[in-house]
Amino acid sequence: MSTDRTERLFEEGADRATYVQTMFSEISSRYDLMNRVMTVGQDQGWRRRAVRAVVRPGDTVVDAGTGTGDLALACIDAGAAQVIGLDFARPMLMRARTKALRGEALRGEFGLTGFALGDATHLPLPDASVDVWCSAFVVRNIPDLDAALREAARVLRPSGRLVFLEIPKMDAGPLRPFARIHFKQIVPRLGRLISGHRSAYAYLPVSVDHFLTPREFTARLRAAGFEVTQVRRLMFGTVAMHVAHKPEREQTEG
Ligand SMILES: C[S@@+](CC[C@H](N)C(=O)[O-])C[C@H]1O[C@@H](n2cnc3c(N)ncnc32)[C@H](O)[C@@H]1O
C-alpha cells in the first residue's frame, strides 16, 4: 500500500478499524519476532514495567487489544487472579491461547487467563467489574479513542488503575530525526523482510504521526475523567507509558 493510501486511512469516514483488524490477522505469525527485532529485545521489559505499575495480587484485569497475549501473561506473572485478553483479530488470539496453554502447562496451573474476541470500544464486560485496564501498542490504532476510554471507565471499579504503553508522536528535540529514520526507513524495510507483509510496517510510522504526543495523551486522559499519576518516556522517548486511575467518586460538574 502506498503512503498516500495509508494516509487516506486517517481521513474522515475511512474504515481504519477493518484495515487494522485484517493487517494484524495477516501478520500474526511473525508479530512477536518483529517486536523483538524492532525494539532490540526491549519490549517484554516495558510490558513487565507497565504491569508492575498497576497490577496487584488478586486483581481482575482486562488487556484490551491483547494481540498475542504478552501483556496479559505478564499480568498473570505479577499475581493477577484473572486476566481477560480481548482482541478483534482472531489469528492473534489463537497465538495468545497457545502461548498461555504452554505457560500454564509449565506452571501446572490452568484457567487463569481467558482470551476472547472483543472490541476495545464495546467491551463485553459488566460495569465496574475489573481492577485494572491495560493496553500495549493498541490505542494509536483505534479511530474512536474516546469511545475506548469511555469503555475503560465503565468497566473499571472506582479507583481502578490503567496503564498504556504506546508509540507517541515525538516532541520536537534532538532525538526526533533519529526516531524518524528508525520508524520511517528501518522499521518498514525490516517489517517487510520479516513479516512478508507489504504495508503493515509502513502503516506504523503513519499511525504514529497521526497519534498524540505524551503531553497531548495525558490531556486526553484527563478530559476522559482519569487521574494521570505517571508518564514515562522509554527508549529515548520512542515509547511512552501512561499510568492513571479512575477517581474514587464520579466527578460532578459545577
Ligand atoms: C500492535 S498490536 C499489540 C498487541 C499486544 N497488546 C502487544 O503488546 O503486543 C495491536 C493489537 O490491537 C488489536 N486491536 C486494535 N484495535 C482494536 C480494537 N478496537 N479492539 C480490539 N482489538 C484491537 C489488534 O488486532 C492487534 O492485535
Residue 215 included in any domain: yes
Residue 254 included in any domain: no
64 C-alpha to ligand 1 centroid (Å): 7
Sequence-ordered alpha helix ranges (H) in 78-197: 90-107, 145-155, 176-181, 187-195
pLDDT digits (tens, 9 = 90+) for 9-55: 999 889 999 999 999 999 999 999 999 988 889 999 999 999 999 99
Name the pLDDT band for 182 (thresholds 50, 70, 90). confident
pLDDT digits (tens, 9 = 90+) for 81-106: 999 999 999 999 999 999 998 876 56
User: For position 231, what pLDDT does the model report?
Assistant: 98
Residue 253 included in any domain: no
Residue 250 included in any domain: no
As a whole number, mean pLDDT of residues 178-191 equals: 82
Domain count, the chain: 1
181 has a pLDDT exceeding 70: yes
Which range of residues forms the domain containing residue 216?
3-245
User: For position 60, what pLDDT does the model report?
Assistant: 97
Residue 137 one-letter amino acid = F
Residue 29 included in any domain: yes
Residue closest via CA to ligand 1's atom 14 equals: 65
The cell for 34 is 518483529
Name the pLDDT band for 187 (thresholds 50, 70, 90). confident
- Out of 33, 88, 117, mutate this one to test ligand 1's pocket (max ligand atoms within 8 Å of CB): namely 88
Residue 124 included in any domain: yes
108 or 214, which is more confident = 214
As a whole number, mean pLDDT of residues 111-122 equals: 88
CATH of the domain at 147: 3.40.50.150
Task: Report the share of the chain in percent with pLDDT over 70.
Answer: 94
35 Cα nearest atom in ligand 1? 9
Residue closest via CA to ligand 1's atom 20 equals: 119
103 C-alpha to ligand 1 centroid (Å): 21
Rounded Cα gap, residues 24 and 87, in angstroms: 10
**DSSP helix, strand, coil percent of the chain (3-state; round to 5):** 50, 20, 30
User: For position 254, what pLDDT does the model report?
Assistant: 47
End-to-end alpha-carbon separation of the chain, Å?
49
Task: Report the share of the chain in percent with pLDDT over 90.
Answer: 71
Please give the mean pLDDT across all residues of the chain: 91
Which of 28-32, 189-193, 231-235 shows the lowest mean pLDDT across its residues? 189-193
In the structure, which protein residues have their CB atom closer than 6 angstroms to any atom of ligand 1?
A: 17, 20-21, 24, 65-68, 70-71, 86-89, 92, 119-121, 136-138, 141-142
Helix (H) or strand (E) holding 45: helix 43-54
- Out of 84, 141, 144, 167, mutate this one to test ligand 1's pocket (max ligand atoms within 8 Å of CB): namely 141
Residue 251 included in any domain: no
Q: Is the dihedral of CA 114, 117, 121, 124 positive or negative?
A: negative
254 C-alpha to ligand 1 centroid (Å): 37
**For the chain, how big is the Rg over CA atoms in Å?**
18
Residue 148 included in any domain: yes
Rounded Cα gap, residues 91 and 204, in angstroms: 19
